[in-house]
Amino acid sequence: MNKYEQLDELIARCALKDQQAFRTIYDLTAPLLHSVVYPILRNKDMCYDVLQEAYLQIWKNSSQFSQNKGAALSWITSIARYRAYDRLEKEKHCVPLTPEFADSLINDEVAPHVKALWDEEQRAFQDCLLQLETKSRQIIQLAYLQGYSREMLANLYQTKINTMKSWLSRGVALLTQCIQSKRLER
C-alpha cells in the first residue's frame, strides 16, 4: 500500500477534529511539502512559517476536501504551494526567472533530497514525466517541482498565460493518464 493512499481517510478524520490523524498527515507529508515550498521561497525561516500556515489551513479546511475533485496529496501540496506564492507576493521576494536560470533548474532527474522521499508512486511519476515531450516536461518541472507561476512561465516561453495554462493542463492530463496505467500494472 502506498503511504499516501491513507491521506483521504486521514483528512476525513481531521474534519472530525482527530488530532492524531492530523499528526499522521504531518509526519507523512512534511518532508515532501518542505521540498515543494523551499525552492519557491529560498529562505529557511519563511519556508517554516509557510509550512505552519499550510498545515493550519489543511486542518481548518479538511471538511472541504473532496476525493471527487482530486487526490489528497495534490490538495495538500497545492495548499502549501499557494501559501508560498502568497508569501512571495507579500514579501516581494522572488528570484528573477531567466532562460539560463530555468535551464539550470531543469534536468531529467528530481533533486536527491526529494528522490529519497519517493516511494513507488513517486517513481511512477518520474518515469511518466520522462515520457513527456521536452517542453511539457520542462514546464511541469518548473511549475510543480520548482514552484514557478503560470505568469512566470508564460514570460519565459514568450506566450500568453492562457496558452501556458493549456500546455500545463495537457501535460498534467498525459502525466495522470500514464500514472494511472502504471497503477493498474501493479
122-153 pLDDT, tens digit each: 677 778 888 999 899 889 888 877 777 888 88
Q: pLDDT band for position 43 (50/70/90)?
A: confident
H runs (alpha helix) in 42-160: 44-61, 72-91, 99-105, 112-115, 120-131, 134-140, 150-156
What is the distance between the alpha carbons of residues 171 and 183, in angstroms, rounded to a whole number? 18
Rounded to 5 degrees, φ, ψ at 108 are -80, -5
**pTM (2 decimals)?**
0.54
Model confidence pLDDT, tens digit, residues 84-123: 888 877 775 445 555 555 555 544 444 454 444 445 666 7
